[in-house]
Chain A
Amino acid sequence: MKTALIVMVIVALLPAARVANASETIVVGSKKFTESFVLAEIAKRSLEEAGFRVEHRQGMGGTIILWEALKQGSITAYPDYTGTIQEEILKHPTAESLDAMRQQLAKYGVGMTGELGFNNTYALVMTRARASQLGIQKISDLSKHPELRLGLTHEFMGRQDGWEPLRRRYQLSLSNVRGIDHALGYVALLNGQIDVKDAYTTDAKIGENNLVVLADDLNFFPQYRAVFLYRLGAPPRAIDALDRLAGTITEAEMIHLNTIAERTKDYSAAADSYFKQTGRLGQSQFSRFSGSESLAHRLVRWTVRHLMLVSLSLAAAILTGIPLGIYASRESFTSEIILGLTGLVQTIPALALLALLVPIPFLGISPVTAIVALFLYGLLPIVRNTATGLRDIPAHVRDAATVLGLKPRTRLLKIYLPMASPSILAGIKTSAIINIGSATLAALIGAGGLGEPIISGLNLNDNATILEGAIPAALLAIAAQGLFSVIDRFIIPRGLRLRPA
């Protein structure tokens, strides 16, 4: 049993070691929405053309996660927008020249390409029917309809150039505001569950659904001109490859590319279209990059990564949780602190925990961060069940062990732990199942796993893609349940499994 566990850990470690070592590979990150995916895919092609090995870490959560990853060097480049860089990264409220921004970014070892050629600013959109019914054309018209229901992305609600400042500038008194995922928000808007949502002006959905973009009559929204941010330390030929993309994508083209991506559910198809139009890349090279990986292949890759995340974090949680649980089983103040702290970790939402861990040195955007987060999540059930299992051993059994004159170590290993084993194993089982679920969030920081299709499916509003991740994850949870029932038979002593005659 022990050897099997060790082999499992070693096998799971191998891919992690490879990832940590891939220093020569250029890693391009992207945010969690279609356009960012497409731009990163275009950058990937351009870099590959320049002779680099490129990995695209898709959909790594929001600006802060990507910015931290770039500063640390977990990624080499990612697409962003001038307005976002100004407001969220440089925290500078007024617009500046590109050169002024470059100077400030250089302090962090980060460079910026020229503008790619389009402005993708925020906008508020409504369905044409609802807008004309209420006679709304511009944002200031909203003040006449305080009853309207808004569904906004969480990022927009929190931004310096987002909902709150916008509301103040336009003196809007709308109070029915809900936070909702960007792609799901479009579904809600079209279903009539919300009336207004935030959008990017290049969203494919606007044209496809003939939505009304409300005019920004007070010029609130800053310019969001697309650029690539990159590490100044990147190879000059790589920087050139990114710079070459400047001025090559107009607004109309970007909307077109986004539409292709969402219609084909394939970002590389959009990138194909870009290179076909600009005629830079020979036809022969397409097949090498386009999404040719079979479903089975993808599923295996995701599942293996998922299992690695879960098994490593679970192994660490077991190795740490059982000793902590043994310690916490004694009634003391420190025990309460241990139980309290492990409980506290559970109350932090998974995404927030990931975001908190990313800025920590040596973690950053990597599977290690995901493993650390999952480890922290897995701790509570194991610590608590170990402590409870030991505390529940009847006093007369403890007395019997003591008066027999057994050494404390023998008492623990031969009597108390085996007697608490059903409870401890139940804790490990709970941990494993929680982690199989939580590990799907690892994809948000580019750590891969079955969360990858779930997140990209969420962005594309494509249920089939979501299920590619969700079904295997559910099957894994069921398999874990079965596996642990088998393990129970090996580990829980027979005397504890028998029913009285």
Chain B
Amino acid sequence: MIVFHNAGKSFGNTVALQPADLEIASNKTTVLIGLSGSGKSTILRLISGLLEPTTGWIEIDGEKLTRDNLPDLRRRMGYVFQSGDLFPHLTARQNILLVAQELRVGMDEMTARIAELCGLARLPAALLDRYPVELSGGEQRRVSLIRALMLKPDILLLDEPMGALDPMVRAGLLTDLKSLFDRLNTTVVLVTHDLLEAARLGDWVVLLNAGKIVQQGAYAELSMCPAEPFVSEFFHAQMEDIHS
């Protein structure tokens, strides 16, 4: 379980995330949703230690996140960024193996793990020796996902993994992610601005606006019982998009 204890982040006078208490359940998929600048990515960056909170603290499975235990905790996390997070000078396989090699994981074990993950993420093994520029956007996301899952993380963090993909590719990836999350049985935190993703993937949905958590609960709960006018506005805006 990931727990925010009054944790907040400001950059000078700009508040990225107002001090918040938040519990992210283990082995469930939590979706952080909101407009850009709402603070949803900030939460992800605080969990991964890319940012340090300016107020409060964060606990992961009862352990307070500090600079000292960050390297160890990071080994238990996988992170997928929006796009272009693959290292362009390395092949897909080299990207995937980078960390395992640094930890001197045995070759047989790595080969087996890659085969397993290619199956799970539905990436043809033939693509592994291509460079990122030689892969489509969807294929790149799948490689990035395999890289994040390589060391069997307890926590998988995804920052708009389907941003910048065309709709067809996105639909396919969404289905695959859904079945992947179901089979992995790990803690997933996914950031998106898209309600469809929240509806399909989220066991728990946290809606943010202007650095504040507005409402959280199951998707249906937010949809049926909006706690604030903003919640219904947010839902309506996207529904209109779909129907127009």
In the complex, how many angstroms separate the beta carbon of A414 from the nearest chain B beta carbon? Answer: 7
Residues of A within 8 Å of B132, CB to CB, are: 495
Verify if B171 is at the interface (C-beta below 8 Å from A).
no
Bound form: Cα–Cα A419–B50 in Å? 21
A496 and B89 form a contact (CB under 8 A)? yes
Contact A404–B133 (Cβ < 8 Å): no
* Residue in B closest to A410 when the chains form the complex, CB atoms: B102
**A/B pair count, beta carbons within 8 Å:** 69
Given contacts A405-B99, A406-B102, A501-B134, contact A495 B74 (CB under 8 A): no
Decide if A361 is an interface residue (CB 8 Å cutoff): no
Measured CA separation A303–B86 after assembly (Å): 46
* In contact, A400 and B85 (Cβ under 8 angstroms): yes
- Interface positions, chain A 395-430, Cβ under 8 Å from B, are 396-397, 399-407, 410, 414-415, 418-419, 421
Given the contacts A501-B133, A501-B134, A403 and B48 also touching, CB distance less than 8 Å: yes
Which listed segment binds A: B76-84, B176-184, B192-200, B227-235? Answer: B76-84
Q: Looking at the complex, which one of A402, A403, A404, A498 makes contact with B131 (CB distance below 8 Å)?
A: A498
Contacting pair B90 A396 (CB below 8 A): no
Query: Which residues does chain A contribute within 8 Å of B87, judged by CB atoms?
Result: 397, 400-401, 415, 419, 495
- Give A494 to B81 CA distance when docked, in angstroms: 24
Contact A419 B89 (CB under 8 A): yes
User: Interface code B146-161, partner A: CB below 8 Å = 1, 0 otherwise?
Assistant: 0100000000010000
Cα A410 to Cα B71 with chains together (Å) = 14
- Closest-CB distance, B136 to chain A (whole angstroms): 8
**Seed contacts A397-B84, A397-B85, A419-B88; 20 additional CB < 8 Å A-B pairs:** A397-B87, A399-B81, A400-B85, A403-B48, A403-B74, A403-B157, A404-B74, A404-B79, A405-B74, A406-B98, A406-B102, A410-B98, A410-B102, A419-B89, A493-B90, A495-B87, A495-B90, A495-B133, A498-B133, A501-B133
The contact of A495 among B50, B75, B89, B157, by CB within 8 Å, is: B89
Mark B residues whose CB is within 8 Å of A: 48-50, 71, 74-75, 77, 79, 81-82, 84-91, 98-99, 102, 131-134, 147, 157
How long is the Cα–Cα vector from A402 to B85 in the complex, in angstroms? Answer: 11
Q: How many residues of A contact B (CB 8 A)?
A: 26
Which of B71, B75, B133, B147 has the most C-beta atoms of chain A within 10 angstroms of its own C-beta?
A: B133
Contact with B along A184-205 (1 / 0, CB 8 A): 0000000000000000000000
Interface centre among A400, A406, A415 (most CB of B within 10 A): A400
Across the interface, do B102 and A407 meet the contact criterion of CB distance under 8 Å?
Answer: yes
Task: Give min CB distance, A418 to chain B, whole Å.
Answer: 5
Q: Which of A406, A421, A500 contacts B133 (CB 8 A)?
A: A500
CA distance A499 to B79 in the complex (A): 27
Q: Is A279 an interface residue (CB 8 A)?
A: no
16 contacts between A and B (CB under 8 A): A394-B84, A396-B84, A396-B85, A397-B84, A397-B85, A402-B50, A405-B71, A405-B74, A405-B99, A410-B98, A419-B89, A421-B89, A496-B89, A498-B131, A500-B133, A501-B133
Given contacts A394-B84, A399-B81, A501-B133, contact A493 B89 (CB under 8 A): yes
Chain B residues within an 8 Å CB radius of A397: 84-85, 87
Q: How far is the CB of A419 from chain B (nearest CB, A)?
A: 6
CB distance from B160 to the nearest CB of A (A): 11
How long is the Cα–Cα vector from A144 to B90 in the complex, in angstroms?
78
Tell whether, in the assembled complex, residue A404 and residue B90 are in contact, meaning their CB atoms are under 8 Å apart.
no
Q: Please, which residues of chain A bring their CB within 8 A of the CB of B71? A: 405
Give the residues in chain A near B86, CB-CB below 8 Å: 400
Contacts of B88 in A (CB 8 A): 419, 495-496
Q: Are A495 and B91 in contact (CB under 8 A)?
A: yes
Partner of A403, one of B77, B84, B98: B77
Cα-based distance from A419 to B86 in the complex (angstroms): 12
Which residues of chain B are near A401, meaning CB under 8 Å? 87
Interface centre among A397, A400, A421, A495 (most CB of B within 10 A): A495
Min CB–CB distance A122 → chain B (angstroms) = 64
Inter-chain CA distance A421–B147, complex, in Å, is 24
A404 touches B98 (CB 8 A): yes
Q: Which of B50, B82, B131 has the most CB of A within 10 A?
A: B131
Please report the C-alpha to C-alpha distance between residue A410 and residue B102 in the assembled complex, in whole angstroms: 8
What is the 8 Å Cβ interface bit string for chain A, positions 473-501, against chain B (1 contact, 0 not)? 00000000000000000000111101111
Residues of A within 8 A of B81 (CB): 396, 399-400
- The residues of A that contact B84 with a CB separation of less than 8 Å are 394, 396-397
Give A280-317 as 1s and 0s: 1 = Cβ < 8 Å from B's Cβ atoms: 00000000000000000000000000000000000000
Least Cβ distance of A388 to chain B in Å? 17
Q: A396-B81, A403-B48, A419-B88 are in contact. Are A414 and B98 (CB under 8 A)?
A: yes
Smallest CB gap from A403: residue in B: B79
Question: Nearest Cβ in chain A — how far from B132, in angstroms?
Answer: 7
Across-interface contacts of A501 in B (CB, < 8 A): 133-134
Give the residues from 362 to 400 in chain A that come closer than 8 angstroms, CB to CB, to chain B: 394, 396-397, 399-400
- Residue of chain B at shortest CB distance from A409: B102
Q: CB-CB < 8 A to A494: which residues of B?
A: 89, 131
Q: Which 4 A-B pairs have the closest CB atoms?
A: A493-B89, A495-B131, A405-B74, A400-B85
In the complex, what residue of chain B is closest to A418 when comparing beta carbons?
Answer: B89
Residue ID in chain B nearest A417 by CB atoms: B89
Query: With the chains together, A499 CA to B74 CA distance in Å?
Result: 34
CA distance A22 to B73 in the complex (A): 64
How far is it, in angstroms, between the C-alpha of A415 and the C-alpha of B50 when the chains are bound? 18
A405 and B90 form a contact (CB under 8 A): no
- Taking the closest CB of chain A, its distance from the CB of B97, in whole angstroms, is 11
CB of B133 within 8 A of CB of A403, answer no
In the bound complex, CA of A92 to CA of B132 (Å)? 74
